[in-house]
Structure 1
Amino acid sequence: MSLEGAYEHDNIFAKILRGELPCAKVFEDAHVFAFMDVFPQSKGHVLVVSKTSRARNLLEIEPQALQLLILGVQRVTRATQAALQPDGLTVTQFNGAEAGQTVFHLHFHIIPNYAGVAVGRHAQGGMADAGELAQLAKAIAAQIS
C-alpha cells in the first residue's frame, strides 16, 4: 500500500479499538491506546495508537492528535523501562508498505532491547503466548502514572 489512499475502517487496529478483537491492553485514555504486539520482536513489545485519528501514517495525522499520541508513546515507553528494565529501547514507526508498514493505522512500536538477545524482524516472528502477553501488559500498566 502506498503512502496515499483511504483509511480502511476494518484494519486490525480499528477492530481492536472498537472491541471487536481481543488484545492485551497496557494503557488507555481518551486519546491513546497501547497494547502488546502479538508478533513481538522482543519481550515486552508494545504498540501505541491514536484513538481519535484515522491517519494511516505519520504524514496524515492531525498535529493535535500527533502531540497527544507522542506524549502517550513517551508515557508507555517510560513504564516499559520501569517494568522490564531493558538495556535499551527502540521506538519506531513505519510509513507505507515499502518502509515495512503492515497495518495502515498510524502506530508506534516500543521494543525493549536486552544485551545479548537479538531483536526479531518486524512482522516475521511467531505469535506470542496470550498469557505471557497479559502478564507483561499488567506489569507495564502498573508502572504508568
Structure 2
Amino acid sequence: MADCIFCMIANHEIPTDVVYEDDKIICFHDAEPQAPVHVLVIPKRHIESLDDVTEDDQELLGYIMFKIHEIAADLGLENGYRVVSNNGEDAFQTVKHLHFHILGKRKMTWPPG
C-alpha cells in the first residue's frame, strides 16, 4: 500500500533500525519505546489488522508467532516479554498495518491499559 508507513519500512523506503528481516517479515525498534526493549514485527505483505486476516494468512501468522520467540531470545529477553497487537481505534491501533509489539527488560504490570 503506497501510503502505509510500515509498507515503506518493509520496502526500505524509510530507514529504520532493523533487528531481523527475511522474505516474509521485518522487525525493527519502535520509534517511541515503552520498555527498554520495544520492537515491532510486521508482515511485509500489507494486512490492515487482525480483522482483515483471511484463511490464506494462517501460515504467515503462525510463522510470525514462531519468529517472535526467536527474536525475543536474540534480544536477551530471558525473564519474559509481552507481545501486543492493537486492533482498531479503541485499542489505539495508530498504524493500519498488522503489527506485533515485543516489549521486555522491565517488569510488566497487569491489567494493561
The structure 1 residue matched to 2:86, chosen from 89, 94, 97, is 94
Shift of 1:104: 0.7
Runs of 4+ in 1 over 2 A off after TM superposition: none
Shift of 1:113: 4.1
Distance of 1:92 and 1:78 partners within structure 2:
17
Shift of 1:78: 2.0
1:49–1:106 Cα contact (<8 Å) kept:
yes
Distance of 1:109 and 1:99 partners within structure 2:
13
Distance of 1:93 and 1:78 partners within structure 2:
19
Aligned residue pairs total 108
2:38–2:104 Cα contact (<8 Å) kept:
yes
Secondary structure of the 2:48 match is: coil
Secondary structure of the 2:52 match is: coil
What residue ranges of structure 1 are gaps of 5+ in the alignment?
Answer: 1-7, 123-145
Distance of 2:32 and 2:65 partners within structure 1:
22
Q: Which residue of 2 aligns with 1:109?
A: 101
TM-score (norm 1): 0.66
Shift of 1:99: 1.0
Cα deviation code 1:66-91 (max 9, x no counterpart): 112222222212222x2x65x44111
Q: Which residue of 1 aligns with 2:27?
A: 34
Q: Which residue of 2 aligns with 1:56?
A: 48
What residue ranges of structure 2 are gaps of 5+ in the alignment?
Answer: none
User: What amino acid does structure 1 have at the position aligned with 2:39?
Assistant: V
Q: CA RMSD in A?
A: 2.3
